[in-house]
Amino acid sequence: MMKRRIISDQHARIPFSLIGVFLLLGSSVTAVYISRLELEKSKEIARSLDVNEIEDLLYSFEADLTNALNLAGLKALKEIGKHPVIQSSLGTSGQINQYP
């Protein structure tokens, strides 16, 4: 059986593990590059805002969050009203009354 070397191989075949390594390295480099771009962009945005604008953004966020929580609570109460719990996990009323 002949030993084949990857560099001197003329058959244009490469192992799948080598392709996997290149894909892994490529995705890692891309992820690092994108995260650096996002970090630079967020620093740019933070520098362009003054303190009053940031406070206004926080107040708007708080108001939106409050509205979303209120709506979710109202929908949950409506759902509970439509489908109330009518069976106890302890059993029927006769079985519950047997316990002292």
Distance between CA atoms of residues 61 and 94, nearest Å: 52
For residues 60 and 43, state if they share a domain: no
Residue 57 lies in a domain: yes
- The pTM for the full model equals 0.37
Residue 25 lies in a domain: yes
pLDDT of residue 88: 64
When comparing pLDDT for 43 and 66, which is higher?
A: 66
Residue 8 lies in a domain: no
Residue 90 lies in a domain: no
Distance between CA atoms of residues 87 and 29, nearest Å: 57
Residue 95 lies in a domain: no
For residues 42 and 65, state if they share a domain: no
> Average pLDDT, stretch 5-23?
77
**How many domains does the chain fold into?**
2
Domain that holds residue 59: 50-82
User: Which of 25-29, 30-34, 40-44, 76-80 shows the lowest per-residue confidence on average (mean pLDDT)?
Assistant: 40-44
For residues 60 and 74, state if they share a domain: yes
For residues 44 and 24, state if they share a domain: yes
DSSP code string of the chain: -----TTT--S----HHHHHHHHHHHHHHHHHHHHHHHHHHHHHHHHH--HHHHHHHHHHHHHHHHHHHHHHHHHHHHHHHHS---S-TT--HHHHHT--
